[in-house]
Amino acid sequence: MKKLVYVYENGNEITHTKYISDKSIKKEAGDSKRVAIYECNELDLEQRLDGFKAGKYITTIAIQ
């Protein structure tokens, strides 16, 4: 199953099964000003846990 990984500028990585709203992104962001979104399968998720940058890059969103 593919999952979306939201990588915030402050280093937080949060996994979701679907796209989340802008309101939810702002709640999760904390002090971050940007979030990058990646689409990952199970292997990519395991590689991310090991510190690698894996997955298909989708977009970057600026948080206001």
Entry pTM: 0.90
Long-range CB contacts (within 8 A, 24+) of 41-50: 41/1, 41/2, 41/3, 42/1, 45/3, 45/5, 45/15, 48/5, 48/13
β-bridge pairing 34-40 and 3-8:
antiparallel
**What is the helix (H) or strand (E) element at residue 6, kind and residue range?**
strand 3-8
- Contact 43/12 with Cβ under 8 angstroms? no
CB 44 within 8 Å of CB 55: yes
Residue 32 has pLDDT above 90, yes or no: yes
The mean per-residue pLDDT over the stretch 36-42 comes to 95
Is pLDDT at 50 greater than 90 in this prediction? no
